[in-house]
Chains A and B, each alone.
Chain A
């Protein structure tokens, strides 16, 4: 009886039995040599990296490294009471500023902000929000058994996302609102998926996030260019 194809393949890789048979059977030896020739021709050479590859790679990786440990979660998704306290401080501050800047206080009129300034502030806030979302997705991808904790982070991010989306809609920034709408669906899926999201789905979501981020970058570049052109015209 001759050796099977599978036996020949694993003999080639130095596994399995049949070496003795191979030495005695010319027919199997011919088949084995043909297999050897074919497999010996299979090599996949990767393109060479440049001399500074390691430094470039580190420059790409380093900004995404959080300190070891989990205290940074506090920054990514602060507890609700912290968010509420911050909102309360903002409201009190806004009220005090409004009272102090009343026209009848005979103070100089507050400087009117241009819509470009508002757009930039919103773009910055949305950019930070996207960074936090990206960080959460990366953490979720790596968390395994801790996915329930990430689900609560997603809920918090979802709330912020709704606020940013509504603000963008109010400011007439349809493109940003559309991007945030995309993200909202992503976050909603994570927040409402009790068993956690599959790794395949997560990769799709992260891919979607990358697309959203690159759209925002492209949009930011357009806004900057438009502003510069506008300034030149002035």
Chain B
């Protein structure tokens, strides 16, 4: 009997079949990574429809650039990098378009009344607000480090930054999150 690993084609084999003209083989990669790319895209963009846009574009870009993929690295890592790059570009582009409409109600929530803090939902609400205030670069760096567990070097490759500048982006994001979340976290802890 074949093991699951034997039954499933490796990513490298599927890439080779796709490059050989078997377009349907690419479908296996879409099925294998679609949900994970969506999760990543949503975490970076914070928006469902933008995340869908990122997923679609990431696969299209990966398909177009497939001849550049080197099977030394994992296909998933390569694909996530493409998706993160596009998500970052999208965030930057949205930021330029939306700069005039910077959510005043989010800023008004800087000092919420302590009695509101007892609700767990408040933490999420506050987190969303603080995440929205991060710059695209800070948000992407933080998501990739904190939620996706990527290394500083991998994040630097997505952002086009060196180690020190990448660390700086993560640190700035953490500082902002701490400022925004610590009052809520402390209050919830006191309940």
Give A residues with C-beta under 8 Å from B.
5-6, 9-10, 13, 15, 34-35, 37-39, 41-44, 46-47, 49, 53-54, 57-58, 60-62, 64-65, 67-68, 138-139, 141-142, 199-200, 203-204, 207
In the assembled complex, the CB of B91 is this many whole angstroms from the nearest CB of chain A, namely: 11
- B34 close to A (CB within 8 Å): yes
A–B complex contacts, Cβ < 8 Å, 28 sampled: A6-B167, A6-B171, A9-B174, A10-B167, A13-B146, A35-B178, A37-B189, A41-B185, A43-B147, A44-B43, A44-B147, A46-B38, A46-B42, A53-B35, A53-B38, A54-B30, A54-B31, A57-B55, A58-B31, A60-B56, A62-B23, A62-B27, A64-B60, A67-B23, A68-B20, A68-B66, A199-B89, A200-B89
Q: Are A49 and B146 in contact (CB under 8 A)?
A: no
Query: A68 contacts which of B21, B61, B174 (Cβ < 8 Å)?
Result: B21
User: Which residue of A47, A60, A68, A139 has the most chain B CB atoms within 10 A of its CB atom?
Assistant: A68
Residue-wise, chain B 141-176 has the 8 Å CB interface mask toward A (1 for contact) of: 001011100001000000000000001001100110
Structural contact, B39 and A46, CB atoms closer than 8 A: yes
- In the bound complex, residues from chain B placing their C-beta under 8 Å from that of A53 are 34-35, 38
The yes or no answer to B129 lying at the interface (CB within 8 A) is no
B-side binding surface: helix, strand, loop or mixed? helix
Question: Given the known A-B contacts A42-B127, A54-B34, A65-B26, are A207 and B93 also in contact in the complex, defined by CB atoms under 8 Å?
Answer: yes
Of residues 27 through 74 on chain B, the ones whose CB sits less than 8 Å from some CB of chain A are 27, 30-31, 34-35, 38-39, 42-43, 46, 48, 51, 55-56, 59-61, 63-67
CB closest residue in chain B, given A139: B64
Of all chain A residues, the one with the shortest Cβ separation from B168 is A6
B89 touches A142 (CB 8 A): no
Residues of chain B within 8 A (CB-CB) of A43 are 147
Task: Tell me if B19 is interfacial: C-beta within 8 Å of chain A.
Answer: yes
In the complex, what distance in Å separates the CA atom of A15 from the CA atom of B145?
12
From known contacts A10-B167, A38-B182, A46-B39, infer whether A61 and B56 are also in contact, taking CB-CB under 8 Å. Answer: yes
B135 within 8 A of A: no
CA distance A67 to B146 in the complex (A): 38
Q: Which residues of B contact A200 (CB under 8 A)?
A: 89, 92-93, 96
Q: Would you give the shortest CB distance from B75 to chain A, in whole angstroms?
A: 16
Q: Is the CB of B30 within 8 A of A42?
A: no
* CB-contact partner of A58 in B30, B131, B171, under 8 A: B30
Pair A46/B43 contact, Cβ less than 8 Å: yes
